[in-house]
A and B are shown apart, each in its own frame.
Chain A
Amino acid sequence: MTSRSRVLALYGVLGAASIASLVAALALGSFPISFVSVVDSIVFPAPGVAHDVIWNLRAPRALAAFACGALLALAGTLLQVLLRNALADPYILGVSGGASLGALLAITAGASAMAMSVSAFAGAVAAIVVVFGLTYRAGDWNVYRLLLTGVVLSAGLSALISLTLVLAPEAQLKGMLFWLMGDLSQSGSPAFAALMALVLAAFGLAASLRLDLLALGELKARSLGVAVGPLQIAVFAAAALATVTAVVLGGAIGFIGLIAPHAIRLAGVAHHRALVPLSMLLGGALLTIADTAARTAWAPQQLPVGIFTALIGVPAMLFLLGRQR
């Protein structure tokens, strides 16, 4: 298969999977709605219980899941090329650690959901500022120092998170664990995250040729005419923004940011013009399916979505890895 037809085939498959995952997210749940009624409600909106359940309860959550997944996949793609490290994921720079600590402290203080989001946001931004401040030197931004600083800061934050968990009253522990494993049931309006996903996808596409060159190393990229310094800062900022938006909305959902770009690469697409949108579609579809499973598998009990991203993603990834020559 030529690389162009492979890209088109992947767009077809992942586009269909994305739509299917969203329709399934609208149809499935404790109030059963048939797929036909879902389509009917999309095409001919008419008031009724099914309409309310679909548009007021399930659609915002489905959109939140899709946007979160897409943002995490984008952040993973950007950080893997910025840090030139295959193991980079959205949380490698301490963003989730900062956000988690912020959220947990807010839960401990008995704050509202809104205050918890603000606190998580503040924690994530603080982590980003610390990592950037400690590593950035104009003209020489060493990505290894950036990577190590992020990893070290994450370790410190995870110790503080453990301490918070140990000292927290038992009644609050479950909420905290949900947050740490990723949970979309508390997510508010997904509009901002969806907008962010579109804006950052546009950035990723606009920078795609440069990202391909950045993967060759800073010197080579510069020799081919890329202004590496500004590009690195822009990529770092975009990845940080994507991660913060996703984490504040859905908690520390693991796995998707690491795996989505690799799955696309294993399917034979490595150039960022296709890798960026395809990873985002895959991440969005995967998280939407996982979230639907998380709220239906053990109904009426809701499970943390992070469990399902791994349960669905791990076998799929192992299959792809095993298939590779």
Chain B
Amino acid sequence: MLRCSGLTLEVPGRVLCRGLDASFAPGEVWAVLGRNGTGKSTLIHALAGLTAPAAGAVELDGAPLERIDGKSRARRIGVLLQLEEGTYWGTVEEYVLLGRFPRAARWGGYTKDDADAAAAALDAVGMSAFSGQRYATLSGGERQRVRIAQILAQRPGIFLMDEPLQHLDLAHQALVLALMTARARDHAETAIMVLHEPLWIGRGCTHALVFNGEGTVEAGRAEEMLTRDRLERAYGCSLYEVAHGEGRCFVPTV
């Protein structure tokens, strides 16, 4: 279980998050919401151990995150970054295989098991047909699905995903969200996802973490967090609520 206590995040001149306490248990799907620049990505990085918080602590299964060595941490926590800076020259299959690095032997390279995990992950996002193609030739949405496949192949148990639905068409937004909620439910995994898409905010997630700006962050169960009032305050725009079956979604009034 991933837990943060008294977590304070800062960028020069600004406090993004002050004294946040939250625990992210197996089976939970978290939506991280808030306006641009309020600190959602910074929180993802801090929970992943990629940036040190200004104060407070992040613990993984009771141990401080910074004490856990990189490879062990990567076997438990998978991170989908919002932006990837590098140019990747290899094929889709090779790209997904990189997610197996934390599980590869020091001198051995990747095995048949790794190749199987990569193939299964590509299949889960519907990208099997592209496995031999060069990664750089993919469209934005295809690339996003392959990047998700890479952390699926990693088999981390805890997924920290910064805007997993970006660039995806509606059908694939639904596929990815269904995939993550099913994994959480059926395999007791945890997904923490930064979401912007109004269609999905009220659906599938069991919990939400809302950045209100100026350092105030609220965390709780989805049904109490995802109210029109709260979201209107967080986004600073007026919303209307659409109910459909058991789900709801929030759409801005123009």
- The answer to whether A216 touches B50, judged by C-beta atoms less than 8 angstroms apart, is no
**Interchain pairs with CB closer than 8 A, number:** 76
Q: Contacts A3-B91, A215-B88, A217-B84 hold; do A225 and B71 have CB atoms under 8 A apart? A: yes
Task: Say yes or no: is A227 at the interface (Cβ < 8 Å to chain B).
Answer: yes
Complex contact A216–B86 (CB within 8 A): yes
Inter-subunit contact B84/A225 (CB<8 Å): no
**Contact for B70 among A3, A222, A270, A273, CB less than 8 A:** A222
Nearest CB of chain A from residue B50's CB, rounded to whole Å: 6
Partner of B101 from the list A84, A215, A226 (CB cut-off 8 Å) is A226
CB pair A224–B81 under 8 Å, yes or no, is no
Residues of A within 8 A of B79 (CB): 219-220, 223
The interface bits of chain A over 251-282 (1 if a CB of B lies within 8 angstroms of the residue's CB, else 0) are 00000000000000100001101000000000
Categorize the interface residue count of chain A. Answer: 20 to 34
Q: Which B residues have a C-beta under 8 Å from some C-beta of A?
A: 45, 48, 50, 69-75, 77-79, 81, 84-91, 93-94, 98-99, 101-102, 104, 107, 109, 132, 154
Known contacts A215-B88, A273-B109, A227 near B81 by CB under 8 Å: no
A199-255 contacts to B (CB < 8 Å): 206, 209-210, 212-213, 215-220, 222-227
Between A and B, 27 residue pairs with Cβ closer than 8 Å are A209-B101, A212-B90, A212-B98, A212-B101, A213-B101, A215-B86, A215-B87, A215-B89, A216-B98, A217-B81, A217-B84, A219-B81, A220-B81, A220-B86, A223-B50, A224-B98, A224-B99, A225-B69, A225-B71, A225-B73, A225-B75, A225-B102, A227-B70, A270-B88, A270-B89, A270-B91, A271-B90
Which A residues are closer than 8 A to B by beta carbons?
3, 84, 86, 206, 209-210, 212-213, 215-220, 222-227, 265, 270-271, 273
Q: Nearest Cβ in chain A — how far from B95, in angstroms?
A: 8
Complex Cα distance, B79 from A217, in Å, reads 13
Query: Mostly helix, strand, loop or mixed at chain B's interface?
Result: mixed
Q: Which of A3, A210, A218, A219 has the most CB of B within 10 A?
A: A219
Whether A84 contacts B48 in the complex (CB less than 8 A), given A209-B109, A223-B79, comes out as no
| Complex alpha-carbon distance, A148 and B78, angstroms | 33
Given contacts A209-B101, A219-B45, contact A225 B70 (CB under 8 A): yes
Q: In whole angstroms, how far apart are the Cα atoms of A158 and B94 in the complex?
A: 40
Q: For the complex, give the distance between the alpha carbons of A215 and B135 in Å.
A: 13
Shortest CB distance A191–B (Å):
28
Residues of chain B within 8 A of A226, CB atoms compared: 70, 101
Q: Which residue of B lies closest to A226 (CB)?
A: B70
Given contacts A224-B74, A225-B71, are A206 and B98 in contact (CB under 8 A)?
no
Given contacts A223-B79, A224-B98, contact A265 B89 (CB under 8 A): yes
Please give, as numbers and ranges, the residues of chain B lying within 8 Å of A225 by CB-CB distance.
69-75, 101-102
A216: B residues at CB distance < 8 A: 84, 86, 88, 98
Cα separation A270 to B90 with both chains bound (whole Å): 5
Tell whether, in the assembled complex, residue A217 and residue B73 are in contact, meaning their CB atoms are under 8 Å apart.
no
Residue from A84, A215, A224 having most chain B Cβ neighbours under 10 A: A224
Q: Is there an interface contact between A271 and B94, defined as CB atoms closer than 8 Å?
A: yes
Residue of A3, A210, A220, A265 ringed by the most chain B CB atoms within 10 A: A220
Instruction: Give CA–CA (A273, B102) in the complex, Å.
Output: 17
Q: Are A84 and B86 in contact (CB under 8 A)?
A: yes
Q: Which residue from A86, A212, A222, A273 sits with its C-beta under 8 Å from B87?
A: A86
Give bound CA distance, A84 to B72, whole Å: 26
Cβ-defined contact, A206 with B74, below 8 A: no
* Highest count of chain A CB atoms <10 Å: which of B72, B73, B77, B101: B101
User: Per a CB cutoff under 8 Å, which of B85, B102, B107 touches A84?
Assistant: B85
Give 4 new A-B contacts, CB below 8 A, not counting A3-B132, A219-B50: A3-B94, A224-B74, A224-B154, A225-B72
Known: A3-B94, A270-B94. A223 touches B74 (CB 8 A): yes
